[in-house]
Amino acid sequence: MKVKVWQVVTLVLGLALTAAGAVLFFQAQAPAHVSPLTPENRDVVRAGQRIYIEHCASCHGAELEGQPNWQARRPDGLLPAPPHDASGHTWHHPSDHLIRLTKYGPQAFAGPDYKSEMPAYEGTLSDAEIVAVLSYIKSTWPPEIRRRHDDLEARAARH
C-alpha cells in the first residue's frame, strides 16, 4: 500500500487538532483558584470574630477602624495599627501575604530588625485560626471590596 502525501498531512493535522482540543479541554476543567479565606462560611466567620475580639481588637479596633493617624509613624518610630476595614490597605494584599504577616509578624517582609508592635501569632494561633480571623475580617468588607480582593487573589495565584 502506498501512502500518499495528503494522507500523511491529514493524519498530522488531525493529531495536532486533537492535542490542541485536549489542552483547551483540560484548561477549562482546571479548578479556579480556591482562596483559603471563606468569608461566606458563617461558622468560620463566627469563630474568627471571637479570635479577632480576643487577639486583635485592642490594637486594630473593635470596628476594625485602626488607631488614629495610622499612616504616620509615631515619634518612637513605630507605626500605629492600621484599620482592617475598607479604608485600610489590608484588602490590597492577597491572603497568603496576610496569613504570613499574621503568623510571622511584619518582620517576615521587612526583615528581622524591623520594629513593630504587631505580634507574630505563630505558637499562639493555629493556621486554621489565622485563616478564620482573616475570613472574618474579609466578611466585613463591602461586596465591591470583597470582589476586588477576589480578583487580586486570582491574579496572585497565577504568578
Site residues (vs ligand HEC, CB under 6 A):
55-56, 58-60, 79, 81-82, 88-90, 93, 98, 101-102, 106, 116-119, 121, 133
Q: Which is nearer to ligand HEC, 79 or 145 (CB)?
A: 79
- Minimum CB separation from ligand HEC for residue 55, in Å? 4
Q: Which is nearer to ligand HEC, 55 or 149 (CB)?
A: 55
Q: Which is nearer to ligand HEC, 102 or 143 (CB)?
A: 102
φ, ψ of residue 125 in degrees (nearest 5): -115, 140
Classify the phi-psi angles of 7: left when phi > 0, otherwise alpha if psi is within -120 to 50, otherwise beta. Answer: alpha
What is the signed CA dihedral for 127, 109, 46, 89, rounded to 10 degrees? -160
Q: Which is nearer to ligand HEC, 59 or 157 (CB)?
A: 59
Q: How far apart, in Å, are the Cα atoms of 76 and each of 66, 109, 116?
A: 18, 21, 10
- Minimum CB separation from ligand HEC for residue 29, in Å? 34
- Minimum CB separation from ligand HEC for residue 90, in Å? 4
CB atoms within 10 A of CB 65: 16
Q: Which three cell numbers stand for residue 13?
A: 493535522
